[in-house]
């Protein structure tokens, strides 16, 4: 099957979609499909030339070399909105493809690709990546309502299929009135990027302040939506009872670090909370492997790869229902809770008080990832749905 993925760019600074789309494409190519990606190149510091740092990250993805790239020159403002080069490229490409899969909602190139696919008679899939959830639509709501009415609603409702990342997103798309096929196709992980796992104790060796201590690990962007304020407050309530446990915060600052530092000082837990900054590559798994549990009390997640990676590392997870991963609860791989301080405090206390049960949860967490959330499994799932909508088109 010839598959064309379309996204505005593969810049990892744009958040999760570039990271997961590149891996979905690579996984599909890895099982023998003819997979292409169309996007704008990411500009280097001069604002014109492609950024070589992006290629270094992409080339490290398993099977990425099998993906054919159609990277347009970095878009200036005119090209970003009018997509002249994208239209020309799509016109020459589309007759060769069986499926077009567009990722996101609000970028003009996505609506352009959908329109071109309709004109060429090629079925297309829209993956909103959480952008049509009520939480996301509540941000700049009037602007998004207008955009849906004028352009992007036609893109959505003209799709042969909508891809939902979770059961919750499936429900959200259905409530928007989409009458076509909705497929739940989650994100995943490549075990090749995780295994072999770091040795236990490796993080403490490189971070002596934690040596001999148990850890609750947070690994994500330090952003207000991630619930760091709740985590700090819950941890403060447990600090005396679990005097051998520290809280380790790993990730780049996206606007929440200053408030967090003030909060932990006010709560009197500054010596028990370690903000270690971002960790990249396999290094980031060291504080997860060493953790008594992994915690992400987010206000909203479309689908968190960080949670999947933590489970693949064998860590039991404490997450909120807002993370939209009920499979963790179904598999008894962790505790899925309401987003309140009392609920979070109780869940962390349970994890820290029964290490044997937590260890068993961690074992089930890894098995859950192996069975449902590796990229080869996800890629095979996506192909089944592609064939389904292809059959409907004939």
Q: What pLDDT is recorded for position 42?
A: 79
The yes-or-no verdict on residue 383 having pLDDT over 80 is yes
Mean pLDDT across 188-212: 92
SS (H, E, C) 270-299: HHHEEEEECCCHHHHHHHHHCCCEEEECCC
Please report the pLDDT score of residue 281 as a whole number: 86
197 pLDDT above the threshold of 50? yes
Domain 2-188+375-393 fold is Rossmann fold (3.40.50)
Q: Identify the band that residue 104 occupies on the pLDDT scale cut at 50, 70 and 90.
A: very high
Cis status, amide bond into 196, omega within 30 of 0: yes
**Biggest alpha carbon–alpha carbon distance for the chain:** 66
Please choose, from the candidates 373, 379, 383, 370, the residue with its C-alpha nearest in 3D space to the C-alpha of residue 30.
379
- Examine the pLDDT at 377 and tell me if it is beyond 50: yes
341 class by beta-carbon count within 10 Å (0-12 exposed, 13-18 middle, 19+ buried) = middle
Q: pLDDT tens, 64-77?
A: 999 999 999 888 88
Task: List the single range of 31-45, 227-241, 245-259, 347-361 with lowest mean pLDDT.
Answer: 31-45
Task: Please tell me the number of Cα atoms within 13 Å of 258 on its side-chain side.
Answer: 2
Q: Which CATH number does 194-371 carry?
A: 3.40.50.2000
Task: Give the chain's mean pLDDT.
Answer: 93
Average pLDDT on 138-155 reads 92
Reported pTM: 0.91
Instruction: Give the lowest-confidence range in 11-15, 168-172, 252-256, 337-341.
Output: 11-15
Query: Same CATH fold, 194-371 and 2-188+375-393?
Result: yes
Q: What confidence score (pLDDT) does residue 280 get?
A: 87
Q: Considering only residues 394 and 24, tell me which one the structure prediction assigns the higher pLDDT.
A: 24
With tokens 């598999």, the residue in question is 331
Predicted pLDDT at 96: 86
Q: Which pLDDT belongs to residue 340?
A: 97
Which residues fall within 8 angstroms of residue 22, CB to CB, at 6 or more apart?
10, 37, 58, 61, 64, 67
CA distances, 285 to each of 63, 199, 331, 368 (Å): 22, 10, 22, 18
For residue 208, what are its two tokens?
């002596």
Q: How far is CA 45 from CA 8, 10, 14, 42, 49, in A?
A: 18, 16, 16, 10, 8
Query: Residue 58 has which token pair?
Result: 């992409």
Percentage of residues in the chain having pLDDT higher than 70? 96
Q: Which residues of 151-179 are buried (b: 16+ CB within 10 A; e: fewer)?
A: bbeebbeebbbbbbbbebbbebbeeeebe
CA 206/CA 391 separation, integer angstroms: 55
- State what percent of residues in the chain have pLDDT above 90: 81
Domain ranges of the chain: 2-188+375-393, 194-371
307-319: average pLDDT: 97
pLDDT band at 46 (very low <50, low <70, confident <90, very high): very low
As a whole number of angstroms, the distance between CA 255 and CA 239 comes to 26
Helix, strand, or coil (residue 384)? helix
Q: Is the pLDDT of residue 185 over 60?
A: yes
């Amino acid at each position: 099957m010839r598959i064309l993925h379309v996204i505005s760019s593969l810049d990892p600074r744009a958040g999760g979609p570039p990271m997961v789309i590149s891996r979905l494409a690579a996984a599909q190519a890895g099982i023998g499909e003819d997979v292409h990606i169309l996007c704008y190149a990411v500009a280097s510091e001069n604002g014109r030339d492609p950024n070589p740092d992006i290629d270094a990250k992409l080339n490290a993805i398993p099977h990425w070399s099998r993906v054919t790239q159609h990277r347009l020159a970095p878009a200036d403002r005119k090209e970003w909105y009018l997509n002249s080069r994208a239209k020309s490229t799509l016109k020459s490409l589309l007759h060769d493809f069986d499926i077009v899969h567009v990722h996101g909602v609000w970028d003009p190139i996505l609506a352009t690709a959908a329109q071109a696919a309709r004109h060429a008679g090629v079925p297309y899939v829209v993956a909103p990546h959480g952008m049509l959830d009520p939480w996301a639509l509540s941000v700049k709501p009037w602007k998004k309502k207008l955009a849906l009415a004028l352009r992007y609603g036609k893109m959505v409702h003209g799709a042969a299929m909508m891809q939902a990342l979770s059961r919750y997103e499936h429900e959200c798309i259905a409530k928007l009135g989409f009458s076509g096929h909705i497929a739940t196709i989650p994100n995943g992980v490549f075990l090749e990027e995780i295994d072999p796992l770091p040795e236990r104790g490796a993080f403490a060796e490189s971070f002596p302040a934690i040596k001999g201590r148990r850890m609750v690990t947070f690994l994500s962007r330090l952003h207000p939506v991630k619930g760091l304020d709740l985590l700090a407050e819950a941890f403060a309530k447990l600090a005396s009872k679990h005097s051998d446990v520290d809280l380790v915060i790993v990730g780049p600052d996206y606007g929440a670090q200053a408030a967090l530092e003030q909060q932990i000082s006010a709560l009197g837990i500054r010596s028990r909370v370690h903000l270690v900054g971002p960790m990249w590559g396999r290094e980031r798994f060291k504080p997860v492997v060493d953790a008594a549990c992994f915690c992400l009390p987010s206000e909203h997640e479309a689908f968190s790869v960080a949670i999947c990676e933590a489970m693949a590392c064998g860590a039991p997870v404490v997450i909120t229902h807002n993370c939209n991963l009920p499979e963790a609860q179904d598999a008894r791989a962790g505790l899925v809770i309401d987003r309140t301080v009392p609920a979070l405090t109780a869940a962390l206390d349970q994890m820290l008080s029964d290490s044997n049960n937590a260890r068993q949860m961690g074992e089930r967490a890894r098995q859950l990832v192996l069975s449902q959330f590796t990229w080869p499994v996800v890629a095979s799932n996506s192909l089944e749905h592609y064939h389904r909508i292809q059959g409907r088109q004939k």
